């Protein structure tokens, strides 16, 4: 079956969906690794990380299904616009929630080796009673960069979902005959 012929909007939609998929799968992998590290040191993962992995898993499923429907020319663009906007809102919440405490961390000044992370967290947990994800991210530079990567990809997803929502609206307008006056 040949690719759908929607011109530059269709090509842009395809690129946006591809970049969304790569970003989402990267976030899932890094967040899952982060949660696994916490669980292996007998620390409960915070709700923000559980929420991040839940939102990104739902978004990956949506992106895959919507692109398959797009490819088969069965995607209702108006509904896709609404769902992209809803996911944009969810990703904005993830980016803001994760990024607020991380913005104060300077990864360059943290320890380069991960050997002291466990001792650091045990000390923090004993003194504070609870180890939150931003404390965990501050344990060593590798973990800090990993968490900041999740934050950066979340910001990129905000842009990509805004772009795909706009393109879906324009594709809906085009398929409804709204651009016929521009083609003359």
Q: What is the pLDDT of residues 86-105, one digit of tens each?
A: 999 999 999 999 888 777 77
Angle 173-177-180 (CA atoms, 0-180°, nearest 5)? 110
Single pTM value for the model: 0.82
- Higher-pLDDT residue of 76, 110: 76
DSSP per-residue codes, 116-159: GHHHHHHHHHHHHS---HHHHHTS-HHHHHHHHHHHHHHHHHHH
% of the chain with per-residue pLDDT over 70 = 78
pLDDT-based confidence at residue 132 (cuts at 50, 70, 90): low
Residue that has been written with the tokens 């970003």 in this structure: 23
Residues whose CB is less than 8 angstroms from the CB of residue 34 and which lie 6 or more positions away in sequence, other chains included: 45, 49, 133, 136, 143, 146, 147, 150
What's the pLDDT score for residue 133?
56
181 pLDDT higher than 80 = no
Whole-angstrom Cα distance, residue 55 to residue 19? 17
Structure tokens that stand for 123 in this block: 């000390």
């Amino acid at each position: 079956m040949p690719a759908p012929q929607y011109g530059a909007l269709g090509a842009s939609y395809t690129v946006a969906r591809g970049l969304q998929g790569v970003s989402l799968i990267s976030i899932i992998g890094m967040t899952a690794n982060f949660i696994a590290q916490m669980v292996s040191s007998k620390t409960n993962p915070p709700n923000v990380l559980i929420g991040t992995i839940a939102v990104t898993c739902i978004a990956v499923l949506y992106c895959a299904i919507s692109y398959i429907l797009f490819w088969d020319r069965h995607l209702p663009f108006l509904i896709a616009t609404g769902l992209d906007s809803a996911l944009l809102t969810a990703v904005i919440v993830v980016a803001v929630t994760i990024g607020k405490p991380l913005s104060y961390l300077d990864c360059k000044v943290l320890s380069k080796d991960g050997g002291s992370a466990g001792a650091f967290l045990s000390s923090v947990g004993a003194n504070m009673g609870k180890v939150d994800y931003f404390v965990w991210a501050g344990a060593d530079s590798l973990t800090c960069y990993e968490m900041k990567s999740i934050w950066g990809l979340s910001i990129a997803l905000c842009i990509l979902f805004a772009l795909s929502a706009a393109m879906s609206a324009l594709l809906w307008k085009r398929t409804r005959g709204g651009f016929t006056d521009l083609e003359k």
